Amino acid sequence: MTDARFLKGLELFNCEEFFESHEVIESLWFETKGIYKDFYKGVIQAAAAMHLLRKGTLSGAERLLSSSIKYLEPYQPVLMGLNVEKLISDLSVCLECLTESKPVKDIPIPKAEYQDA
């Protein structure tokens, strides 16, 4: 069964409350041992990257996007109801936009596509 904090974090992510999403999932990450710790870290870093993007801290956002993708890759295609494959694809688009120096307003903000498992 998927932890309610993770689902709440995804809900906050989709409401573009990225800092709050990061905080909620991080509380779960601190308690996690084993194979899912890096999965949570990847989602946390995705939220943190979007938060930095919104603040205009583009180099930090770029670094966290790249790291997030690396952490999430082993968990494709779906884990805990989250479409990891789609999230990686969406994060990759953001990263590409940043590396091409597109204006922040033109960078699509990803959504976490998930089903309450």
Q: What is the 3-state secondary structure (H, E, C) of 56-100?
A: CCHHHHHHHHHHHHHHHHHHCCEECCEEHHHHHHHHHHHHHHHHC
The string of pLDDT tens digits covering residues 47-56 is 999 999 999 9
Confidence check: pLDDT of 117 > 70: no
Q: Which pTM was predicted?
A: 0.95
Residue 116 domain-assigned? no
Domain span at residue 76 reads 4-106
What would the 3-class secondary structure string for 11-47 be?
HHHHCCCHHHHHHHHHHHHHHCCCCCHHHHHHHHHHH
Residue 15 domain-assigned? yes
The string of pLDDT tens digits covering residues 61-106 is 999 999 999 999 999 999 999 999 999 999 999 999 999 999 999 9
Strand pairing category for 78-79 and 82-83: antiparallel
Confidence check: pLDDT of 115 > 90: no
The arithmetic mean of pLDDT across residues 12-30, rounded, is 97
Measure CA of the first residue to CA of the last residue in the chain; give whole Å: 6
The string of pLDDT tens digits covering residues 28-49 is 999 999 999 999 999 999 999 9
Distance separating alpha carbons of residues 17 and 23, to the nearest angstrom: 10
Give the residue among 50, 3, 66 at the shortest CA–CA distance from 29: 3
Number of folded domains that form the chain: 1
Residue 28 domain-assigned? yes
Residue 35 domain-assigned? yes
The CATH number of whichever domain residue 9 belongs to comes to 1.10.3450.10
Residue 78 domain-assigned? yes
- The token pair that represents 1 in the structure block: 């069964």
